[in-house]
Amino acid sequence: MASADPADLSALDRLLERYRDGGRAQLLPALHDAHDTYGYVSEATATRIGQAMRVPLADIYGVLDFYTLFYRQPVGERIVRVCTDPSCAIMGGEDVLQAACQRAGVKPGGTSQDGAVTVERMQCIGLCDQAPAALVDKTPVVRVGTAQKDIDALLRGEGPPSELNVSGEPRVLTANIGAVDPASLDDYVSRGGFEALRKAFAIGPEAIIKTVRDSGIVGRGGAAFPTGLKWQFTHGAVGEPKYVICNADESEPGTFKDRVLMEGDPFRVLEGMALAGFAIGSEKGYVFLRGEYPLAREAVQTAIDAASEAGYLGQDILGSGFSFEIEIRVGAGAYICGEETALFEAIEGKRGFPRVKPPFPTTHGLFGKPTAVNNVETLAASVDIVRHGSEWFRQWGTEQSAGTKLFCVSGHVARPGLVEVPFGTTVRALLDEHCGGVTGELQAILMGGAAGGFLLPEQLDTPLTFEALSAIHAPVGSGVIAVLDSSVDLRDVLARLAHFFAHESCGKCFPCQIGTQRQAEVLERATAGQSQPGDADRLMDVGWTMTDASLCGLGQTAASAVLSALHHWPDLVDGRK
């Protein structure tokens, strides 16, 4: 993994030349470069970075220790990260981890005696439809078996590569995926690419905002805030410069839609960002992309380079007088950075702690300036909305849930993958018509991801809309549909979700910091068959406290799946399901 001697800082000094004028806001890229160069960040490396960027060493360590993907001590030449979150766990992810550890002669998190490999337990890596999955350095490996030959290949960084499994009807947002070369600008333009941007220049920012507002599209990342209103508020906010941020820090267990869009149709995402920039009056955009998505990073950077060279990004785009540049910022393993204000902190070179709101990002966002933050899917969908109009988009869905939606289907179905369907399609129709149906006896469906809720088999005819799912306390969320058959121990699923939130809590607010730990402890007892009297009440007390008192969405939803499970199965933690 490392390519330079950690004692030789000359390579680091050359890297730091590009960051010296950027100040603290360049800290995250500098740490990534140093980490890629040496394999970890030593005290000498951290000290040199701090001196060059005028950042206190304590702050350097604060950022380093905040992120899962950064190391301060040497690790193996290869790092094998095996996903054991629910979608992978129910397909054998835990068995793969244990087999890999046994073969390497280590415990999870350990490095082999010869220093060749470090094997780690990993949070979701966005390959849920191809479970069990792993990430070996920057190489995704999917459908990993437990046979010795499969484990040996995994430890070498070999195995089946990841795929883009897309289905649905109609294919609107995903029309280009599988039909074009994602690295080819010519392919994208030949299918109507950048026509929306040309139209935007012709009709002006106010008309764009009205079109997006009238379309009824709301944020596709889980919060569901009206996109047109967000653009309108940012457009009218006082302050310069303004920023557009594409939130590509997709880390919700069970979610992989944004990865598929970025890997399969990156130019669409960039065009959506440029549209947002023109609408709000911004000349600078950031893609904040999770560190576990190396292929998406490569695809998006290739698209940025091609679009810039061809004049679709950069100065005076298409002779319009509008200039817009896009920069990728890569995270390093922190779910909390998907929260918009924590994302700002990360880009600014600080730990990803969420801010208190108000003030809101539309007036006080990145660097304290007006900022529009949108999910990958939201920005990609805005392209066709501007190109074809709001009524065109509203031909699908319902009054409250307009358009088509991407759903990430994993678990016990014949054909897991990304499915695009109109809002209003029932859960049963989606699974039967596009995923080959449920394999085995259906026990439950986890909707919305780790912060979601459960559906029972008798609820399969529920329409996939915000209003219908909200009525039965199951969110659309980030579009997760994790199908669990009767072989699954729901206690184990809940314990893994609780471990995820306990691991990912930033610790800034007390209800979430302590609540996620207590929740995980109770569910670990339940999984081990050691529940204590009153554990269900403890979970509900902790859960509602986190929901009501936490600072940001992580703590406010960390108990959602647990509370949903206790509603459906009151005796679950007592072992009497």
How does DSSP assign 229-284, residue by residue? HHHHHHHH---SS-EEEEEE---STT--HHHHHHHH-HHHHHHHHHHHHHHHT-SE
Residue type present at position 469: L
Lookup: tokens for 541: 């007390």
Residue with tokens 């929260």: 339
Q: Which of 155, 186, 219 is the last residue of a domain?
A: 155
Looking at residue 394, its pLDDT comes to: 97
Average pLDDT over residues 234-261: 97
pLDDT band of residue 19 (cuts 50, 70, 90) is: confident
Residues 149 and 52 grouped into a single domain:
no
Among 138, 79, 136, smallest CA distance to 111 is for 79
87 domain-assigned: yes
160 domain-assigned: no
Average pLDDT over residues 201-209: 98
**In this predicted model, what pLDDT tens digit does every residue of 256-301 receive, in sequence order?**
999 999 999 999 999 999 999 999 999 999 999 999 999 999 999 9
Instruction: Work out the end-to-end distance of the chain between its first and last CA atoms, rounded to an integer number of angstroms.
Output: 47
**In this predicted model, what pLDDT tens digit does every residue of 464-489 receive, in sequence order?**
999 999 999 999 999 999 999 999 99
- Region of residue 207 (phi > 0: left; psi between -120 and 50: alpha; otherwise: beta): alpha
Q: Which of 461, 485, 509 is the last residue of a domain?
A: 485
Q: Decide if pLDDT at 575 tops 80.
A: no
399 domain-assigned: no
Residues 381 and 420 grouped into a single domain:
no
DSSP code for 438: B
Looking at residue 231, its pLDDT comes to: 98
Residue-wise over 286-301: b if at least 16 C-beta within 10 A, else e? bbbbbbbbbbbbebbb
Q: Decide if pLDDT at 320 tops 50.
A: yes
Residues near 562 by beta carbon (within 8 Å), at least 6 away in sequence: 494, 497, 498, 519, 523, 539, 543
Question: Residue 436 in contact with residue 442, Cβ under 8 Å?
Answer: no
Residues near 141 by beta carbon (within 8 Å), at least 6 away in sequence: 133, 134, 135, 153, 154, 157, 158, 159, 160, 161
Average pLDDT over residues 116-140: 96
Among 82, 91, 157, 155, smallest CA distance to 122 is for 82
Q: C-alpha angle 138/142/147, rounded to 5°? A: 115
Among 67, 59, 54, smallest CA distance to 19 is for 54
State phi, psi for 472 to the nearest 5 degrees: -115, 20
Residues 187 and 321 grouped into a single domain:
yes
Q: Decide if pLDDT at 577 tops 60.
A: no
Lookup: tokens for 403: 């358009």
Q: Decide if pLDDT at 2 tops 70.
A: no
State phi, psi for 104 to the nearest 5 degrees: -85, -10
Among 293, 436, 451, smallest CA distance to 376 is for 293
Residues 136 and 224 grouped into a single domain:
no
Looking at residue 3, its pLDDT comes to: 61
CATH number assigned to the domain comprising residue 408: 3.10.20.600
Q: Decide if pLDDT at 6 tops 80.
A: no
Count helices and strands in the chain by DSSP H and E runs: 24, 15
Among 164, 358, 193, 167, smallest CA distance to 261 is for 164
223 domain-assigned: yes
- What percent of the chain has pLDDT above 70? 98
CATH number assigned to the domain comprising residue 502: 1.20.1440.230
Residues 481 and 509 grouped into a single domain:
no
Q: Decide if pLDDT at 4 tops 80.
A: no
Residue type present at position 386: V
The three state secondary structure string of 207-243 is HHHHHHHHHCCECCCCCCCEHHHHHHHHHHCCCCCCE
Among 356, 360, 334, 362, smallest CA distance to 347 is for 334
453 domain-assigned: yes
> What is the Cα–Cα distance from 300 to 422, expressed in whole angstroms?
27
Total-model pTM: 0.96
State CA 116 to chain mean position distance.
Answer: 30
Give residue 555's domain range.
490-574
State CA 198 to chain mean position distance.
Answer: 30
**In this predicted model, what pLDDT tens digit does every residue of 364-412 receive, in sequence order?**
999 999 999 999 999 999 999 999 999 999 999 999 999 999 999 999 9
71 domain-assigned: no
**In this predicted model, what pLDDT tens digit does every residue of 64-106 receive, in sequence order?**
999 999 999 999 999 999 999 999 999 999 999 999 999 999 9
What number of residues does the chain have?
577
CA atoms within 13 A on the CB side of 77: 9
Q: Which of 136, 155, 174 is the last residue of a domain?
A: 155
> Quick one: which H or E segment has residue 483?
strand 480-485
Residues near 463 by beta carbon (within 8 Å), at least 6 away in sequence: 398, 423, 424, 425, 426
Average pLDDT over residues 143-171: 96
Residues 389 and 522 grouped into a single domain:
no
Find out whether the peptide bond into 241 is cis, omega within 30 degrees of 0.
Answer: yes
pLDDT band of residue 1 (cuts 50, 70, 90) is: low
Strand order across the 371-375 sheet: 325-330, 284-289, 243-248, 371-375
> What is the Cα–Cα distance from 332 to 289, expressed in whole angstroms?
9
> What is the Cα–Cα distance from 399 to 83, expressed in whole angstroms?
39
Residues 287 and 209 grouped into a single domain:
yes
Beta-bridged to residue 402, according to DSSP, are: 397
72 domain-assigned: no
Average pLDDT over residues 341-354: 97
- What percent of the chain has pLDDT above 90? 95
Residues 504 and 444 grouped into a single domain:
no
Looking at residue 346, its pLDDT comes to: 97
Residues 239 and 121 grouped into a single domain:
no
Q: Decide if pLDDT at 576 tops 50.
A: no
Question: Residue 45 in contact with residue 8, Cβ under 8 Å?
Answer: no
Number of compact structural domains in the chain: 5
Residue-wise over 244-254: b if at least 16 C-beta within 10 A, else e? bbbbbbbbbbb
474 domain-assigned: yes
Residues 55 and 103 grouped into a single domain:
no
Looking at residue 574, its pLDDT comes to: 76
pLDDT band of residue 223 (cuts 50, 70, 90) is: confident
Residues near 227 by beta carbon (within 8 Å), at least 6 away in sequence: 212, 213, 217, 218, 219, 374, 378, 382
CATH number assigned to the domain comprising residue 290: 3.40.50.11540
Residues near 304 by beta carbon (within 8 Å), at least 6 away in sequence: 270, 313, 326, 328
Residues 304 and 374 grouped into a single domain:
yes
Strand order across the 134-136 sheet: 110-111, 117-122, 78-83, 134-136, 139-141
Residue type present at position 59: D
Q: CB atoms < 10 A from the CB of 570, how many?
A: 12
Residues near 224 by beta carbon (within 8 Å), at least 6 away in sequence: 218, 466, 476
Residues 186 and 125 grouped into a single domain:
no
Residues near 287 by beta carbon (within 8 Å), at least 6 away in sequence: 245, 246, 248, 269, 273, 300, 326, 327, 328, 329
CATH number assigned to the domain comprising residue 112: 3.40.30.10
Residues near 173 by beta carbon (within 8 Å), at least 6 away in sequence: 261, 377, 380, 381, 384, 404, 406, 420
Q: Average per-residue pLDDT in the chain?
A: 95
